Amino acid sequence: MSALSVTMPQADVRWNPPARGPVGMYGLIAAESAIFTIFVVAYLFYMGKSVAGPQPRDVLHVPVFLTICLLSSSITIHAAVRSLRTGSVRRFALWWLLTIVLGAIFLAGTAQEWHHLIYDEGLTIQTNLFGTTYYSLVGLHAFHVTVGLLALAIVSLFTILGHIRQEHAERAEVLSMYWHFVDTVWVVVFIVVYMVGR
C-alpha cells in the first residue's frame, strides 16, 4: 500500500495550540521547583535539630534590602519585555540592564552575608545541620540567580551588538519567566529561612 494522503478538506475545530517556548519554560520551572522543594523539605525537617554550633536566631539578619532589590528586578524585567513588545529597543536595553544590576546587587549582598557568617560567626556547611541546610538552600538559589544573570548578560551583549529586535519579544518573555521563577523561589526561601526558621 503506498503512502496515503491524509489531508482532510478542512479541520473541524479552530486550531490554536500554545507556543512551545513558554511551555518548555514551564516544564523547566516545574522540574526546578521539585528540586527546590526537596531542599526546602530538608531545611524544615532539620530545623531545630542541630546538635551544636550557631543557631539561626543567633546569626541570621533579615536581608530586607537585598530582597527588595531582587523582587524589584522582576518589575524591571517585566517593563523591559513590555518595551520590546512595543518596539522600543533602547528602553528595553535600559530596563534589562537595570534588572541585571539589581540581580548583581543581590548576589553581592549574599556573598557579603556569607563572608560574615563564615568568618565572624564560624558557621560553615560543615558546622552543623543548620549550616548544611542553610548554605545548600540559599546557595542553590544563588546559583540559579547566577545562571540567570549570565543569560541576561548575553542578551544585553546581543542588544549592544544590535541583534535584538521587536520580533524577539517572545523569547525575551520566556527568559523573563525564568527570572520571575527565581524571584518566587527567593520569596519561599526568605519565608522559610528568615521567618519560619528563626
Using CB under 8 A as the criterion, which residues of the chain lie in contact with other proteins when the complex forms? 1-8, 10-13, 15, 17-20, 23-24, 27-28, 30-35, 37-39, 42, 45-46, 49-51, 125-126, 128-129, 131-133, 136, 140
Rounded least distance, CB 84 to other proteins, Å: 22
What 3 state SS string does 5-60 have? CCCCCCCCCCCCCCCHHHHHHHHHHHHHHHHHHHHHHHHHHCCCCCCCCCCHHHHC
Closest contact distance (angstroms) between CB of 65 and other proteins is 29
Nearer to other proteins, 46 or 114 (CB): 46
SS3 193: helix
Residue nearer to other proteins on the CB measure, 15 or 162 = 15
Output the smallest distance, CB 93 to other proteins, in A. 27
Length of the chain: 198
In the complex, least distance from residue 94 CB atom to other proteins, rounded to whole angstroms:
31
Q: Least distance (Å) from other proteins to the CB of residue 48?
A: 10
Q: What share of the chain is helix, strand, coil (3-state, %, to 5)?
A: 75, 0, 25
**CB of 19 or CB of 64, closer to other proteins:** 19
Residue with cell 494522503: 5
Nearer to other proteins, 2 or 167 (CB): 2
- Calpha distance 172→87 (Å, rounded): 13
- To 10 degrees, what angle do helices 169-189 and 20-45 make? 10
Give the nearest distance from C-beta 47 to other proteins in angstroms.
Answer: 12
CB 182 within 8 A of CB 149: no
Contact 29, 176 (CB under 8 A): no
CB-nearer residue toward other proteins: 13 or 162:
13
35: cell is 528540586
Closer residue to other proteins in complex, CB, 25/89:
25
